């Protein structure tokens, strides 16, 4: 069972629908104790970094996320769910992130031909061919993005995929069985559904040797 964390800052409907389409066992959990029988957690996120972290903490999910990742259980962050794993963000300088991964979240710079936020399709270049999240996904496949900030990891080995929008930034990161993506797999058609299906395999205990970092 995949627990989709509901802390008031995620696009739950499209994630639930994608899991249902893939026939992945998943349900929305609104409290930490509801994760007791889950084998994996999915942390979505939409909106400002500071608001998302405040809601996550108010709902009591911070200890669960920390303990879950420390135990190397399957975890997937999406969009702001990726950014939350880092130490902090330029969007909300006074709000600490979870600090699971070292580094900070920075604002995309606008310029000629570059709109911020980035909204639409862009390529993801895979940086770790052994990453189970991208199994069966072509290198350079297009995914759907909506964001104005990006993660800047301090540890380059945490970068699983990168995308260019003015700068080359980490669009997928991970360590062990903790993964996170800046794009929205639930809105990224076949490539995104494959990423979710791969995470479902990890949640089911398949491919146990496939970890990152």
Q: Is 184 a catalytic residue?
A: yes
Q: Look at the alpha carbons of 168, 54, 20, 197 in this order and tell me if their dihedral is positive or negative.
A: positive
The CATH architecture of the domain made up of 2-203 is: 3-Layer(aba) Sandwich (3.40)
Which candidate in 38, 91, 186, 212 is catalytic? 186
Taking the C-alpha atoms of residue 45 and residue 121, their distance in angstroms, rounded to an integer, is: 18
Q: Is 79 a catalytic residue?
A: yes
Which candidate in 19, 52, 65, 184 is catalytic? 184
Buried b (16+ CB within 10 A) or exposed e, 91-122: bbeebebbebbebbbbebeeeeeeeeebeeeb
From residue 78, how far is each of 71, 81, 184, 209 by CA, in Å? 20, 5, 6, 23
Taking the C-alpha atoms of residue 112 and residue 23, their distance in angstroms, rounded to an integer, is: 43
Q: State pTM to two decimals.
A: 0.94
Tokens of 124: 């993801």
From residue 1, how far is each of 39, 134, 188, 201, 205 by CA, in Å? 5, 21, 22, 11, 11
**HEC readout, 27-77:** EEECCHHHHCCCCEEEECCCCCHHHHHHHHHHCCHHHHHHHHHHCCCCEEE
Which candidate in 79, 131, 178, 212 is catalytic? 79
Question: pLDDT tens per residue, the chain (213 residues)?
Answer: 999 999 987 778 899 999 999 999 999 999 999 999 999 999 998 889 999 999 999 999 999 999 999 999 999 999 999 999 999 999 999 999 999 999 999 999 887 878 888 999 999 999 998 899 999 999 999 999 999 999 999 999 999 999 999 899 999 999 999 999 999 999 999 999 999 999 999 999 875 445 565
pLDDT at 213: 57
Taking the C-alpha atoms of residue 126 and residue 138, their distance in angstroms, rounded to an integer, is: 9
Going from N- to C-terminal start, the domains of the chain cover: 2-203
């Amino acid at each position: 069972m995949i627990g989709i964390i509901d802390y008031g800052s995620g696009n739950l409907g499209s994630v639930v629908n994608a899991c249902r389409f893939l026939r992945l066992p998943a349900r929305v959990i609104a409290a930490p104790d509801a994760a007791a029988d889950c084998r994996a957690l999915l942390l979505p996120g939409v909106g400002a970094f500071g608001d998302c972290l405040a809601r996550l903490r108010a709902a009591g999910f911070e200890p669960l996320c920390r303990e879950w990742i420390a135990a190397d259980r399957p975890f997937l962050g999406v969009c702001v769910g990726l950014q939350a794993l880092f130490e902090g963000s330029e969007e909300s300088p006074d709000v600490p992130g979870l600090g699971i991964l070292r580094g900070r979240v920075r604002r995309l710079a606008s310029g000629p031909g570059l709109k911020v936020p980035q909204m639409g399709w862009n390529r993801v270049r895979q940086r770790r061919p052994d990453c189970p999240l991208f199994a069966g996904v072509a290198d350079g496949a297009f995914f759907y993005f909506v964001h104005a900030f990006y993660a800047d990891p301090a540890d380059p080995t945490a970068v699983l995929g990168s995308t260019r929008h003015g700068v080359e930034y980490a669009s997928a990161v991970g360590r062990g069985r903790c993964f996170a993506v800046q794009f929205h797999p639930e809105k990224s058609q076949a490539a995104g559904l494959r990423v979710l299906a791969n995470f479902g395999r990890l949640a089911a205990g398949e491919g146990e040797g496939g970890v990152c970092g």
